[in-house]
């Protein structure tokens, strides 16, 4: 089976800015893939290369086995890209926009599919509204709808939930998960790391144009050896710093919680110590590292660990 996306040694510079530097990535069909990175990491540039919005300087990119330069008509057909910037064609209403869009991708009489997408995105009641008359969040929903009307095999969402309200965010994710279960490949960029952590199977982290990590989500998180113990207490103990010398980053919160950071290997012994102390314990929680911890480590200054 062809890979959904294969990116080999792709480079792109804007003047002195190296937006993409020797990027290599392979995405399998049917994956829910996260493309993460701080502002300016090169995510949108990479998506632009996929969709034919950006001319790369070197390297090769294929979509379902077809080259995005030589075979651009095929690759564009199998992609549904939601651009990051909200753009709109001011002459048409919502439904007309989606009809034109379907036609562009070679689909005629697409009413049923358009209805489905409008429903899923909560835009049905605005179908006769001119785009100028949509709120910002609705314009973004339309942007998503446009990418989906031709039922593409690979759906690329460049920060689809920026400016979208909580309710729609939830229904959008339900719909995208459904599409993924039907076998569609999903590529998502987002700055909401919790969303990515919940949704994605595999994640690539970009920093300054380079891929600094690609792995299964769980594996990525495992790289951070960190456990956070939260102990809710009746009273604030004195000298909290001295109580547990093996713990790091000891903190007392307003909600009467003592927060202790430790490593996986030390978590049991630390819990023992807490139990055997004279503290009046109300509740105990143990949390593992989060995607955010990995993200911070790989993208913050000095954390330039390369794979």
Partner 1 sequence: MSDLITFYSLVKREIWRFSKVAIQTVFAPLISTSLYLIIFSYSFRSREVAEYGIDYIKFIVPGLIMMSLIQNSFANTSSSLIVAKYQGSIVDLLLAPFSYMQLTLGLMIGGIARGLVVGLAIYLIATFFYSGAVYSVGLFILFSFLISGIFSLFGIIAGLWAEKFDHISIFSNFFITPLTFLSGVFYSVKNLPGIWSKVSLFNPVFYMIDMARYAFVGISDAKLSLSITIVGTLFIVLFFLTTYLFKIGYKIKD
Ligand X SMILES: Nc1ncnc2c1ncn2[C@@H]1O[C@H](COP(=O)(O)OP(=O)(O)OP(=O)(O)O)[C@@H](O)[C@H]1O
> Which residue ranges make up the site for partner 1 (CB under 8 A)?
14, 45, 48, 51-55, 72-74, 76-77, 79, 81, 83, 85-92, 96, 100-108, 146
Token pair for 146: 């446009």
Q: Smallest distance, Å, CB 43 to Mg ion?
A: 5
Q: Which of 25, 27, 32, 37 binds ligand X (CB under 6 A)?
A: 37
From the list 37-45, 117-125, 145-153, 228-236, the region that binds ligand X by CB under 6 A is 37-45
> In 10 A of CB 135, how many CB atoms?
11
From the list 12-20, 97-105, 176-184, 252-260, the region that binds ligand X by CB under 6 A is 12-20
Contacts of residue 112, Cβ cutoff 8 Å, sequence gap at least 6: none
Token pair for 118: 């409008």
Alpha carbon separation from 116 to 93, 131, 175, 259 (Å, rounded): 17, 19, 10, 47
Q: Select the binding partner of residue 192 from Mg ion, ligand X, partner 1, none (C-beta < 5 to 8 A, by kind).
A: none
- Applying CB under 6 A, does 190 fall inside the site for ligand X? no
Q: Smallest distance, Å, CB 301 to ligand X?
A: 16
Q: Smallest distance, Å, CB 239 to ligand X?
A: 44
- Applying CB under 5 A, does 44 fall inside the site for Mg ion? yes
Stated length of the chain: 307
Q: Which of 62, 66, 75, 84 binds Mg ion (CB under 5 A)?
A: 84
- Nearest residue to Mg ion, scored by beta-carbon proximity: 44
Token pair for 25: 């990535």
Q: Which of 7, 31, 33, 44 binds ligand X (CB under 6 A)?
A: 44
Q: Smallest distance, Å, CB 40 to Mg ion?
A: 8
- Applying CB under 6 A, does 66 fall inside the site for ligand X? no
- Applying CB under 6 A, does 163 fall inside the site for ligand X? no
Cα of first residue to Cα of last residue in the chain, in angstroms, is 26
Contacts of residue 111, Cβ cutoff 8 Å, sequence gap at least 6: none
- Applying CB under 5 A, does 262 fall inside the site for Mg ion? no
- Determine the size of the site formed for ligand X (CB under 6 A): 12
Distance CA 235, CA 306 (A): 45
Alpha carbon separation from 303 to 28, 146, 226, 294, 296 (Å, rounded): 28, 38, 17, 10, 8
Q: Between residue 80 and residue 109, which ones bind ligand X under the rule CB under 6 A?
A: 84
Q: Select the binding partner of residue 91 from ligand X, partner 1, Mg ion, none (C-beta < 5 to 8 A, by kind).
A: partner 1
Q: Select the binding partner of residue 259 from ligand X, partner 1, Mg ion, none (C-beta < 5 to 8 A, by kind).
A: none
| b/e burial code for range 213-232 (CB count within 10 A of at least 16 → b) | bbbebeebbeebebbbbbbe
- Applying CB under 6 A, does 161 fall inside the site for ligand X? no
Q: Is 43 exposed, middle or buried (0-12, 13-18, 19+ CB in 10 A)?
A: buried
Residues near ligand X (CB under 6 A) are 14, 17, 19, 37, 39-45, 84
């Amino acid at each position: 089976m062809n890979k959904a996306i294969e990116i080999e040694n792709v480079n792109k510079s804007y003047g002195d800015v190296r937006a993409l530097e020797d990027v290599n990535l392979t995405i399998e069909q049917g994956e829910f893939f996260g493309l993460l990175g701080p502002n300016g990491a090169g995510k949108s540039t990479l998506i632009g290369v996929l969709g034919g919005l950006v001319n790369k300087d070197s390297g090769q990119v294929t979509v379902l086995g077809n080259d995005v330069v030589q075979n651009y008509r095929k690759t564009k057909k199998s992609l549904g890209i939601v651009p990051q910037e909200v753009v709109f064609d001011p002459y048409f209403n919502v439904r007309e926009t989606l009809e034109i869009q379907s036609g562009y991708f070679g689909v005629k009489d697409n009413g049923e599919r358009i209805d489905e997408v409008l429903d899923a995105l909560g835009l049905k009641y605005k179908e006769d509204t001119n785009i100028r008359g949509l709120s910002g969040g609705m314009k973004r929903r339309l942007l998503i709808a446009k990418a989906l009307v031709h039922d593409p095999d690979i759906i690329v969402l460049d920060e689809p939930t920026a400016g979208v309200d909580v309710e729609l965010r939830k229904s959008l994710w339900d719909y995208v998960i459904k599409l993924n279960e039907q076998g569609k490949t999903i590529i998502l960029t987002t700055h909401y790391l919790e969303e990515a952590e919940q949704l994605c199977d595999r994640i690539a982290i970009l920093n300054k144009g380079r891929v600094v990590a690609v792995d299964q989500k769980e594996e990525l998180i495992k790289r951070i050896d960190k456990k956070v113990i939260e102990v809710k207490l009746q009273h604030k103990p004195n000298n909290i710093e001295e109580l547990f010398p093996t713990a790091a980053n000891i903190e007392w919160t307003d909600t009467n919680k003592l927060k202790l950071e430790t490593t996986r290997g030390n978590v049991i012994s630390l819990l023992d110590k807490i139990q055997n102390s004279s503290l009046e314990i109300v509740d105990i929680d143990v949390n593992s590292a989060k995607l955010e911890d990995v993200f911070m480590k790989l993208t913050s200054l000095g954390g330039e660990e390369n794979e």
